[in-house]
Amino acid sequence: MAATPSKLVSLVEAAQAVASGASLTAGGFAHSHQPLAFTRELIRQGRSRLTLMSVAECWVAEFLAAAGMLEKVYFSNFMFEGYGRCQRFSKAVEAGAVAVEDHSHFGMVSRLMAAGLGLPFMPMKAMAGTDILAISGFEPPDRKARRMQSPFGHEVVTAVSPLRPDVAVIHAARADRLGNVQLFGTTSVIEEQARAAGTVIVTVEEIVDTDIIRRQPEMTLLPALMVDMVVHLPYGAHPTGVYGYYDHDSAHLADYYAASRTEPDTAVWLDRWAHGLPDHFDYLDALGMTRLLQLRVDPALGYLREASHG
């Protein structure tokens, strides 16, 4: 058999694709499928002046802000359901350390969609008449959006410009070595992010044979042609969850949330859970097998029956 062009790389190598000053978009929604092992590796390696192009990857944004690695953020909403505001991210914005450009969810997704479809703009109907368009963050207002009359009638729409992140980082359920990626449950904005980005890195719970992918091709979210690198990272979304695998770790999230009230406590937390552990498998060892197994979901429900509410 001919050698297959495997895209499997180490976490260290994949993270090196994100240079200081790069723009990044990341998968995930609420406490689900956020690429946090990748985020911790970026923090370990150290980066500066990153730009995020985000819809709902609140935990990625929070950890990058906590580590002082963010410069600019295009986004629509960051909050921790059941906990509250993202405290380090919010503080960084309040201190003027991170510049922001606000959107509605549909506005952000439409800008990524424009890039993903190779179009110079996307027409849409939300955001009109509000400060989202009237007050500029760091982007000149006429480069973000313009009012436009339909070429086919009198209807007025808002045209938004494309956003093209240098790198998309996505955590999914499983992939083969070629980069065919499957994810069960909600898929957030992953398809649009992958299409918009220059380089697509996918971290997964399991590496499977291509025959497994071919058995359920309808579950494939990204075909191999959309993917540049694959990293095998079981529990790679922890402390967020992955549908069908493990639930979010509410105790761990609560610990972070308590620590994130102050800068020194956040630094101690990051030292313990990112800087202080050489790699992802040391992180899993530090959590311990018991805790990891307790997060495994009920296979019939896809979630953990006993998980507490925040």
Partner 1 sequence: MAEVSRDEYMAVAASREIRDSDTAFIGTGLPMVAAYLAKATHAPRVNLVFESGIIDPRPVDLATGVGDYRLAHGSTKIAGTFYALSLLQQGKVDIGFLGTAEIDAYGNLNSTVIGPYHRPKVRLPGSGGANDIASMAKRFVVIARLDRKRFVEKVQYLTTPGFLTGPGAREAAGLPGAGPVRVISDRAILGFGPDSKRMRIERLYPGETLAAVQEHCAFPIEASPSLEAEPEPDAHLLRLLREVIDPKGVYVGRGER
Transcribe 261-291 into DSSP letters: TSHHHHHHHHIIIIITSSSHHHHHHHH-HHH
- Which residue, 286, 279, 292, 211, is CA-closest to 245? 292
How many binding residues for partner 1 (CB under 8 A)? 67
Residue 247 binds partner 1 (CB under 8 A): yes
Secondary structure E strands in 176-298: 181-182, 199-207, 220-222, 229-232
In angstroms, what is the minimal distance from the CB of 1 to partner 1?
35
CB of 17 to partner 1, least distance (A): 24
Coil/strand/helix, residue 116: helix
The one among 23, 188, 203, 260 contacting partner 1 by CB under 8 A: 188
Contact region for partner 1 (CB under 8 A) — 11-19, 159-167, 182-190, 197-205?
182-190
Determine phi and psi for 65, rounding to 5 degrees.
-65, -40
269 scored as a contact of partner 1 (CB under 8 A):
no
Q: Which of 105, 146, 252, 291 binds partner 1 (CB under 8 A)?
A: 105
What is the contact mask toward partner 1 in residues 113 to 152, using x (rule: CB under 8 A)?
x----------xxxxxxxxx-xx-x---------x-----
Burial of 106 by CB count in 10 Å (0-12 exposed, 13-18 middle, 19+ buried)?
middle
Closer to partner 1 by Cβ: residue 259 or 297: 297
Give the up-direction half-sphere exposure of residue 101: CA atoms within 13 A in the CB hemisphere: 21
Work out which of 8, 9, 22, 157 binds partner 1, going by CB under 8 A: 157
Q: How far is the CB of 215 from partner 1 (least distance, A)?
A: 19
Check binding of 163 to partner 1 (CB under 8 A). no
CA 104/CA 132 separation, integer angstroms? 8
Q: Is 168 in the site for partner 1 (CB under 8 A)?
A: no
